[in-house]
């Protein structure tokens, strides 16, 4: 084999090895591709469970925060209101709600799935539908900042005009989603994939002295 052929083969091998070592985020060249990769990672939460913070900022009333945990049909929400905390659990059949200020535990039939707030995470999955995406100028070496602007094809009056999205370049995980609807600021942040059964399962032994109000039919 001539030296030129050897050099060509060695060059191709080096290029191949280099492609395997190239950081994954370099393959995503457009905001649409970044969101596509993000959704792929995000969907792992369907089987592994997911937790995230949901923050709502309402003029005059102030800020309300909840931490949400989902795993299969199970759901837990920690709602922080001023100095009190209300925690709800649902297994799809029964719902438990504990008010820390009143030391009161209310048991009811679970709401239909379409009425619970697990739908909030669908906002992340559908962020590219009906929106034009572009990279924000502040995008840096670690994070993609993506601006999603509602386009003319989106006829849904309830969809916000703009959504700001931050995606990790290390693993395509969602860092945050922020938007504003009817003057109310909405932020979803601190996303984590992976939730344990214990985190989403109500344990009556944790509330032995609570006043129980059973409203199940």
pLDDT tens readout for residues 23-51? 444 455 799 999 988 888 888 888 999 99
**Under 8 Å CB-to-CB from 121, ≥6 apart: which residues?**
42, 45, 50, 52, 68, 70, 188
Query: Rounded to whole angstroms, how far apart are CA atoms 163 and 175?
Result: 13
Q: Are 187 and 55 in contact (CB under 8 A)?
A: yes
Q: What is the pLDDT of residue 4?
A: 54
- Greatest extent of the chain over all pairs of C-alpha atoms, in Å: 87
pLDDT of residue 203 exceeding 90, the answer is yes
Lowest mean pLDDT among 12-21, 65-74, 109-118, 181-190: 12-21
Percentage of residues in the chain having pLDDT higher than 70: 80
Work out the average pLDDT over 195-202: 95
Q: What is the pLDDT of residue 19?
A: 41
Lowest mean pLDDT among 54-68, 117-131, 182-196: 117-131
Q: Specify the pTM.
A: 0.75
Query: Rounded to whole angstroms, how far apart are CA atoms 212 and 123?
Result: 35
pLDDT band at 108 (very low <50, low <70, confident <90, very high): very high
Q: What is the pLDDT of residue 11?
A: 47
Select the more confidently predicted residue: 114 or 18.
Answer: 114
* Total residues found in the chain within this entry: 217
Q: What is the pLDDT of residue 122?
A: 56
How far apart are the two ends of the chain, measured CA to CA in Å? Answer: 84
Q: What is the pLDDT of residue 147?
A: 93
Query: Rounded to whole angstroms, how far apart are CA atoms 139 and 152?
Result: 26
Q: What pLDDT, in 10s, does the model give residues 118-172? A: 445 555 656 768 899 999 987 788 999 999 998 888 888 888 889 999 999 999 9
pLDDT band at 3 (very low <50, low <70, confident <90, very high): low
Q: What is the pLDDT of residue 114?
A: 55
Q: Which CATH architecture has domain 28-214?
A: Clam (2.50)
pLDDT of residue 176 exceeding 90, the answer is yes
């Amino acid at each position: 084999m001539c030296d030129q052929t050897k050099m060509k083969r060695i060059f191709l091998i080096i290029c191949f090895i280099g492609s395997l070592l190239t950081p994954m985020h370099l393959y995503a060249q457009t905001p649409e591709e970044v969101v596509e990769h993000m959704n792929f990672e995000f969907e792992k939460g369907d089987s592994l469970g997911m937790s995230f913070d949901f923050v709502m900022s309402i003029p005059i009333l102030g800020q309300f925060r909840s931490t949400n945990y989902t795993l299969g049909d199970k759901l837990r929400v920690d709602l922080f209101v001023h100095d009190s905390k209300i925690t709800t659990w649902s297994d799809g059949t029964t719902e438990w709600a504990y008010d820390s200020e009143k030391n009161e535990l209310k048991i009811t039939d679970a709401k239909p799935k379409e009425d619970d707030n697990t739908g909030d995470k669908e906002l992340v999955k559908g962020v590219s539908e009906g929106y034009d995406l572009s990279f924000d100028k502040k995008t840096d070496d670690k994070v993609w900042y993506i601006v999603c602007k509602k386009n003319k094809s989106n006829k849904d009056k309830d969809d916000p005009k703009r959504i700001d999205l931050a995606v990790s370049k290390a693993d395509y995980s969602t860092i945050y989603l922020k938007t504003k609807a009817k003057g109310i600021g909405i932020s979803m942040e601190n996303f984590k994939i992976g939730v344990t059964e214990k985190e989403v399962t109500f344990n009556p032994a944790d509330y032995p002295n609570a006043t129980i109000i059973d409203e199940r039919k």
